[in-house]
Amino acid sequence: MDLSLELDKISGIGPKTYEKLEKAGLRTLGDIIYYLPRAYENYRATTTIDQIRPGKIMIKGKPDSLKSTHARRRHLTITEGVIRDNTGAIRVVWFNQPYRVRQLDPKKEYYFTGNYDFKYGKYQLTSPVVTEAAEVSENQSSFQPIYPAKNSLKPLFFKKIMGKLRPNFASIPDLLPEGYAPDFAGSGARADALYDIHFPESSDDVKKGKKYLAYEELFEFLLAAKLNQQENQKLNAISLPFNAENTKNLVKNLPFKLTDAQRIATWDILRDLEKPTPMNRLLQGDVGSGKTVVAALAAHQAAKSGHQTAILAPTAILASQHASGLSALLEPFGLKIALLTGATKQKASLKKQIKNGEIDIIIGTHALLTDDTVFHSLALCIIDEQHRFGVAQRQKLLAKTAISNPGLAPHLLSMTATPIPRSLQLTVFGDLDISILDSLPNGHQPIETKIMPEIEMQENLYPALRQHLKAGEQVYFICKLIDDGGGQFANSDLSSCGGGTAEPIGAAPATAGGRNHCSTIGDLRTGNTQSDVMKLSKKIKKLFPEYNVATLHGKMKPSEKDAVMEKFLKNESQILVSTTVVEVGVNVPNATQIIIMDAEGYGLAQLHQLRGRVGRGTKASNCYLITSGEDKPSRRLRELEKSTDGFYLSEVDLKLRGPGEIYGSLQHGELNLQIATLSDTKLIALARKHATEFAKHPEDMVKYKELNNNIKKYQQLTTLN
């Protein structure tokens, strides 16, 4: 059976269902068969109410006396009631899920899964997931998959589809080339694995199935990396000769001494640029580690040999900061630098200059990518915060070299401030060369981090802030929402939690795999008016009338954002109340205080990034992580309090979130590894060995159509052409 078969060709799937699936991006049999459960419920694990203990529980019972009330202060809807079975009754509560009243029929039996614990003075079951008992039919296994919802498609919908497809599973062909399967599997292993995952009898079945699919995925991934590496070696790039005198001269005139890490990274890059094959290097360094000057030295080498560099940045603010930083460093050496963003005036004449080769280094946002930006000779591409860009954008930039210099590929330097756990580096970026800036430049001050419940701010925070403001320092307040009445997030970030909206019936419990580490808080947060940037801004203005308070959020026009940032940079405003748009790379050395509201609502990596807005000057800095104070602070926040080491924190994040999630946020979420096993070193070693072996005969690829297609997908991530 061919997995590329369109789903409408399969009996049991009618046109209506097909339409829904197609809308959700699931078109082929393969798409749906690889749509994997996100968790499993073991209905045998049900307890009766007289037996329950605090913790995660599953009970089977009938809802009673459900009613919703609106708590005005927090814009919160509370739905509460009781659940009964024939041994007793317990209290149940949902936040912001008023539809539960309509949805749950007191005459019907349901499974309720959730946390049962002591809160606000009583024991209660909080925001349980619900499955109608009648849907768990008697003759099915009592070990049931729970599918993630997708668009309007509910978990149960997927369960029904899988049921219909069940007879097809036996004829799923193997994907791996013969002789490259793991030693623990024989032929027909893929069909078995997929069956075990969708229709397991026990958690052992699931484990077995996942192990095989994980191997398969790793094999594809590592093979793609190997093939890319080989293919990139066959490409030609412009050789940019190293000139010791020029470089020394520039380094000598820098306003600071390079750190050892900077010197090593720069040296590796400058040598790569000399080669006639393209560089494909990732420069990793924590916020403030000084990546910009490394990029400047590389661009300088390109310019001195008469070729151009394009620097792509994710926001206008960041692009203009790079432009002014690089101008200061490089214009004294005769280099011409220009900025191209959406707001740039006289684009046409600037583009003419770029085309004529009058500009050496062009820094820009997406505006740089349009077809009418043509270079004279583009030799080097630098992408800052590379994970913010999609595959298509990346390719658009890289393709510009072949337009100015037919037949050639650019040297590529990708930069990221999101440290990748060392243990993942080889797997995730197996085909890239990596440079790491693992020490901060001297003179940078430590940041002291403190978790603080909101109610303590008045007494313990504002007086301290006043002192710092008096001393001429500046302050950031970060919160997530903008005042649009709907409690919508100002900007979604890959590393943060979801929006905490109502969960569809039957969705996975919040504890599954630690993914939704903040779903309950999310419920509360959506209604928290304190974290609304406009309201917070008003409040801060009242509290600090003697200072200028500026407000920044993602719904402002780029030019407005720039203007606000510019004022803050010049210390014309002393307090900046902002959403996470300030997150990326913004550099205001005089800002020493950052207060992050509702800190539990962010991921570890993002909090670390946000914190990096301070500690960039010569004064000691503080970061306050504000919580509701209702629960014990999460491990994430406690780790942040302890450490400012990005690499250490990335390892923690890896443990807490799992490698799949980390990988996803590193890669713009476009290609998430589905089965998180990047930490399984044995499996990786085996897959690597096999992939390396197979890559020696790339001509064999044509024999394996499905494998070939899958690999193309991964190859796009790091290919240079």
Residues of this chain that bind ligand ADP (CB under 6 A): 256-259, 262, 285, 287-293, 417, 441-443, 585, 587, 616
Instruction: Please state the closest distance from residue 290 (CB atom) to Mg ion, in A.
Output: 9
Query: Considering beta carbons, is residue 506 or 585 the nearer one to Mg ion?
Result: 585
CA angle 285, 289, 290 (to 5 degrees): 105
CB of residue 293 vs ligand ADP: minimum separation in angstroms?
Answer: 5
Residue closer to ligand ADP (CB basis): 417 or 577? 417
Helices marked H in 51-117: 100-103
Measured CA to CA in angstroms, residue 29 lies from 10, 21, 351, 389 at distances of 8, 11, 47, 30
Q: Which does 293 bind (CB under 5 to 8 A by kind): ligand ADP, Mg ion, none?
A: ligand ADP
262 versus 520: smaller Cβ distance to ligand ADP: 262
Q: Which of ligand ADP, Mg ion, none does residue 287 bind (CB under 5 to 8 Å by kind)?
A: ligand ADP
Tell me how far, at minimum, the Cβ of 585 lies from Mg ion, in Å: 4
The radius of gyration computed from the CA coordinates of the chain, to the nearest angstrom, equals 28
CA distance 452 to 449: 10
**How does 358-392 read in b/e, with b if 16+ C-beta sit within 10 Å?**
ebbbbbbbbbbbeeebebbebbbbbbbbbbbbebe
- Which of Mg ion, ligand ADP, none interacts with 197 (beta carbon under 5 to 8 A by kind)? none
User: Would you say 500 or 585 has its CB closer to Mg ion?
Assistant: 585
CB of 657 to Mg ion, least distance (A): 24
Cβ count within 10 A of residue 107: 6
Task: List Cα–Cα distances, 152 to 35, 155, 488, 508, 526, in angstroms.
Answer: 15, 10, 19, 16, 21
- Least separation in angstroms between residue 282's CB and ligand ADP is 13
What's the CA gap between 636 and 35, in Å, rounded? 30
Task: Give residues with Cβ within 8 angstroms of 11, minimum separation 6.
Answer: none
Query: Which residues make beta-bridge pairs with 131?
Result: 111
Nearest approach in angstroms of CB 190 to Mg ion is 44
Closest C-alpha among 231, 314, 219 to residue 278: 231
Question: Smallest distance from the beta carbon of 623 to ligand ADP, in angstroms?
Answer: 16
Looking at beta carbons only, is 181 or 440 nearer to ligand ADP? 440
CA distances from 388 to 226, 230, 494 (A): 24, 26, 9
What are the phi and psi torsion angles at 242 (to 5°)? -80, 130
Give the nearer residue to ligand ADP in terms of CB position, either 587 or 667. Answer: 587
In whole angstroms, give the CA distance from residue 410 to residue 582: 30
Q: Order of strands across the sheet with 280-285?
A: 337-340, 361-364, 308-312, 378-383, 411-416, 280-285, 433-437
Least distance (Å) between residue 257 CB and ligand ADP: 6
| Closer residue to ligand ADP, CB minimum distance, 286 or 523 | 286
Q: Compute the least distance from the CB of residue 697 to ligand ADP, in Å.
A: 41
Partner whose footprint covers residue 587, from Mg ion, ligand ADP, none (CB < 5 to 8 Å by kind): ligand ADP
Nearer to ligand ADP, 49 or 420 (CB): 420
Residue 534 binding: pick among ligand ADP, Mg ion, none (C-beta 5-8 Å cut-off by kind):
none
Q: Are strands 433-437 and 280-285 parallel, antiparallel or unpaired?
A: parallel
Instruction: Please list, in sequence order, all residues whose beta carbon lies within 8 angstroms of the beta carbon of residue 530, skipping any fewer than 6 positions away.
Output: 454, 479, 536, 597, 598
In the list Mg ion, ligand ADP, none, the entry touching 211 (Cβ below 5 to 8 angstroms by class) is none
Contacted by 259, from Mg ion, ligand ADP, none: CB < 5 to 8 Å by type: ligand ADP
Q: Which region among 131-139, 173-181, 221-229, 584-592 touches Mg ion (by CB under 5 A)?
A: 584-592
Stretch that binds Mg ion, among 108-116, 117-125, 197-205, 583-591 (CB under 5 A): 583-591
CB of 675 to ligand ADP, least distance (A): 33
Whichever of 21 and 261 has its CB closer to ligand ADP, that residue is 261
Do the Cβ atoms of 394 and 673 come closer than 8 Å? Answer: no
Residue with Cβ nearer ligand ADP (294 or 695) = 294
Among the listed ranges 354-362, 396-404, 530-538, 579-587, the one in contact with Mg ion (CB under 5 A) is 579-587
Q: How far apart are CA 89 and CA 63, in angstroms?
A: 9
Q: Report in angstroms how near the CB of residue 601 gets to ligand ADP at its nearest.
A: 24
Q: Choose the contact partner of 288 out of Mg ion, ligand ADP, none; CB within 5 to 8 A by kind.
A: ligand ADP
Measured from the CB atom, is 259 or 315 closer to ligand ADP?
259
Render the burial of 568-599: b for 16+ CB within 10 Å, e for the rest.
Answer: bbeeebbbbbbbbbbbbbbbbebbbbbbbbbb
> Residue 49 binds which entry of Mg ion, ligand ADP, none, with Cβ cut-offs from 5 to 8 Å by kind?
none
Helix/strand/coil (H, E, C) string of 391-449?
Answer: HHHHHHHHHHHHHHCCCCCCEEEEEECCCCCHHHHHHHCCCCEEEEECCCCCCCCCEEE
Which residues, 6 or more positions from 323, have their beta carbon under 8 angstroms from its beta carbon?
337, 338, 339, 363
Nearest approach, Cβ of residue 552 and Mg ion (Å): 18
Answer left, alpha or beta for residue 338, where phi above 0 means left and psi between -120 and 50 means alpha: beta
Residue 24 vs 299, nearer CB to ligand ADP: 299
Distances in Å between the alpha carbon of 169 and those of 174, 180, 347, 463, 715?
Answer: 12, 22, 57, 66, 29
Of 422, 420, 415, the closest CA to residue 294 belongs to 415
Q: For 331-388, where are the alpha helices, taking DSSP H only? A: 347-356
Q: Could you say which of Mg ion, ligand ADP, none residue 522 binds, taking C-beta under 5 to 8 angstroms by partner kind?
A: none
Note whether 646 binds Mg ion by CB under 5 A.
no
Q: Smallest distance, Å, CB 327 to ligand ADP?
A: 13
Bridge partners of residue 382, in order along the sequence:
311, 413
Region binding Mg ion by CB under 5 A among candidate stretches 101-109, 238-246, 248-256, 578-586: 578-586
In the complex with Mg ion, the residue whose CB is nearer, 63 or 585, is 585
- Minimum distance of Mg ion from residue 418's CB (angstroms): 12
**What does the alpha-carbon distance between residue 697 and residue 679 come to, in Å, rounded to a whole number?**
28
Residue in the shown chain whose Cβ atom is closest to ligand ADP: 290
Candidate residues 145, 314, 430, 585; the one interacting with Mg ion per rule CB under 5 A: 585
- Beta carbon of residue 364, minimum distance to ligand ADP (angstroms, whole number): 17
Q: What are the phi and psi torsion angles at 111 (to 5°)?
A: -95, 135
Tell me how far, at minimum, the Cβ of 280 lies from ligand ADP, in Å: 20
Q: Is 571 left (phi over 0), alpha (psi -120 to 50) or beta?
A: left
The residue with its CB nearest to Mg ion is 585
Strands laid side by side in the 549-552 sheet:
447-453, 621-627, 591-596, 474-478, 575-578, 549-552
Q: How far is CA 696 from CA 130, 236, 682, in A?
A: 52, 21, 22
Which of ligand ADP, Mg ion, none does 240 bind, CB closer than 5 to 8 A by kind?
none
Which CB, 314 or 585, lies closer to Mg ion? 585
Which is nearer to ligand ADP, 221 or 568 (by Cβ)?
568
Smallest distance from the beta carbon of 292 to ligand ADP, in angstroms? 3
| Binding partner selected for residue 63 from ligand ADP, Mg ion, none, CB under the kind-specific 5 to 8 Å limit | none
Q: How far apart are CA 313 and CA 303, in angstroms?
A: 19
Contact window for Mg ion (CB under 5 A) among 28-36, 518-526, 581-589, 638-646: 581-589
Residue nearer to ligand ADP on the CB measure, 36 or 295? 295
Binder of residue 290, out of Mg ion, ligand ADP, none (CB less than 5 to 8 A by kind): ligand ADP
Q: Is the Cβ of residue 114 or residue 617 nearer to ligand ADP in the bound state?
A: 617
- Applying CB under 5 A, the residues found at the interface with Mg ion are 585
